[in-house]
Structure 1
């Protein structure tokens, strides 16, 4: 009897291959195979949708062979409840089934051309792509890229500080993906205090895909507070600090920092900073007070009604955040500006 293939998980099993799935949307983090399977089977909503899609990095590999792994980047459309919309995915599955048939007649073929023909395919930005390749290389026990050694040498201050333009992005990604290896956290912690702005921003951007220790997170927190205390704080740098510690388990210090940022009139109307909170720190919004404070700040911004609708529509699809957003909508303590935004939202729905 032919194998019935209804899902990507089924397809991988038909290849006698292994599967690892990463979210590529809000942050780069691993989804368990069980999470992904229940999502594919319409049993659970996608945990971290972005713009009504599940943005996925999919690694398929074979333990017993030296074949190159398959890597797919797919964005699967979701409904209002975060459940997968089957039509596009099923079309993709049909293409996969044809690929299997092709493999029967051409056993050496590992055809990835179906991606170029699919509307589900996307290309991550450079930083996310570098982080992804660093993660899977580390996971598959492969050596880091040739850019790793120069990068770690630079971060250890073994080179001239202004020689950063010779350091490859992939090398920095390799260092960040190996935080627990060879004292890398201590190296990064020290380097953040002297790095020029451009390489510092790159390191912070790459750290958002990792789980920094509490110690490293507190270092980043101190740097963020120093910046926030400036007469004219840099909201771009503040947003980068916040994204860098967004994956940390040090939730309380991070939430305290967010509250301080939202209370600071010099930066709390900055769209980049607000976006960093909404897109990277969604777990922190599972908190009525913080969620309310964020949307009060959004309501006070220029074009606040439009920005409110964009962020509300995106965040309400996240199962853990939805109840707290509903509490914001129902609050009797909201400002006139927030009430106006909510009115515009519901008039649009009608």
Structure 2
């Protein structure tokens, strides 16, 4: 027990190899080097989200032949707090490790590994869409075949989407997530492009939420930007922004974003959907463009909701390393509207709830 000083030591104790995935802002594989660095507090956690590390840990017994995802063993979903420097909070991490080791020593390695997170305060449960995307990404990384739901989605998107019918209602999220992981394969790129332009809105939304975890080819980026400029449904606008969230901000994207946000002094309830998507999924855009950040904060400050949305978005952005400094530079600036200055004054009057 004295030699167990990191998560890696725990997995060595039970004879498991571990693969880490970040499930915070997006689903992203974590390299072995990154894992060692944040595990031993040599570097900050690479993908902070709401001041936590959201980890999926795939545990596989050493020297075991690769099997299907379902047979691999154990997947842990662990949420660990980060300190002010963005590193793992060592006190919390050590408490988490001790609780795991105690259960493993009590129940034995096999049973203990499966039950180690039972009643743990560090466990989180991904929502249905994120779980579908994680399983799709994991299966593709392990070179597993897609599920039956995948072919259902391909068949639907290969049909005439201009004919209105209810066939889309039978499609599974898993199939759309598996299609998204194949976004850079030309035959599937074409189907996704077709879906974004012509599929039923629920299909478009679900597909965009799966695409947010992928790096899109330029052709699809252009399609999404074009759709963003003509779409009037703010929920679908938010979905398009999520799908584009791994793209770097450029002039082709910036102009449509300014047009989408519109007036500084108007922020209706529907407008909150794309603003929330920008804050939660695209903070790197806001960090790179102070004018984009200012428009959002001005719009929120002009809402007649007691500054609730303003506080929620400020909390979200102040916890992200790329937007923290630009945000506070803006809020401390003397070159803001009276409404924004007033909203800043109310920032600390109550504890805001997290943005969802």
TM-score, normalising length from structure 2?
0.86
* Residues 1:321 and 2:329 are matched in the alignment: no
Tell me which residue corresponds to 1:147. Answer: 149
In the TM superposition, residue 141 of structure 1 has moved relative to its aligned partner by: 1.1
Query: In 1, are the aligned partners of 2:74 and 2:113 still within 8 Å (CA)?
Result: no
Counterpart mapping for 1:1-350 below 5 A: 4-62=3-61, 64-66=63-65, 68-101=72-105, 109=111, 111-157=113-159, 161-181=165-185, 183-227=187-231, 233-249=232-248, 251-263=250-262, 268-269=267-268, 270-287=271-288, 288-303=290-305, 305-345=307-347
CA spacing shift, 1:316–1:266, aligned 2, 3 Å: closer
Structure 1 residue 152 displacement after superposition = 1.3
Gaps of 5+ in 1: 228-232
Q: Which has the higher contact order (CA 8 A, sep 6+)?
A: 1
Distance 1:343 1:210, change over 3 A: same
- For the 8 Å contact 2:19–2:58, the answer to whether it is kept is yes
Cα deviation 1:267-294 (Å, max 9, x = unaligned): 8542222110000001101122222222
Deviation (angstroms), 1:266: 11
Q: 1:99 to 1:326 in 2, by over 3 A?
A: same
1:230 aligned residue = none
Partner Cα separation in structure 2 for residue 328 and residue 286 of structure 1 = 11
Compared with structure 1, are the counterparts of its residues 109 and 116 closer, same or farther at alpha carbon in structure 2 (3 Å cutoff)? closer
Deviation of residue 47 (structure 1)?
Answer: 4.1
Question: Hey, what's the Cα distance between the residues in 2 that align with 1:329 and 1:268?
Answer: 19
In structure 2, relative to structure 1, the CA distance for the partners of 1:196 and 1:246 (3 Å cut) is same
Query: Cα offset for 1:111?
Result: 2.6
Deviation, structure 1 residue 64: 3.5
Aligned length: 341
Instruction: Give 1:110 shift.
Output: 6.5
1:205-260 superposed Cα distances (whole Å, 9 cap, x missing partner): 11112111121011011111111xxxxx2111111111111113464433333222
CA apart distance, 1:15? 4.3
- Report deviation, 1:113: 1.4
The structure-2 alpha-carbon separation of the partners of 1:253 and 1:17, relative to structure 1 and needing over 3 Å to count, comes to farther
Partner of 2:354: none
- Between stretches 173-182 and 331-340, larger displacement belongs to 173-182
Kept after mapping to 2: 8 A contact 1:243/1:280 = yes
**TM superposition shift of 1:139:** 0.5
> Aligned-pair distance for 1:158?
7.0
Distance 1:338 1:46 in 2: 33
Counterparts of 2:302 and 2:253 in 1: how far apart (Å)?
Answer: 23
2: distance between equivalents of 1:207 and 1:81?
30
Q: Secondary structure at the match of 2:53?
A: strand
Aligned to 1:154, what secondary structure does the other structure show?
Answer: helix
> Aligned with 1:293: secondary structure?
helix
Unaligned runs of 5+ in 2: 66-70, 352-356
Deviations 1:93-115 (A, max 9, x none): 11332355368x56x55732122
- The separation in 2 between residues aligned to 1:64 and 1:197, in whole angstroms, is 46
Kept after mapping to 2: 8 A contact 1:242/1:254: no
Range with bigger deviation, 23-32 or 290-299:
23-32
Deviation at 1:334, TM superposition (A): 0.7
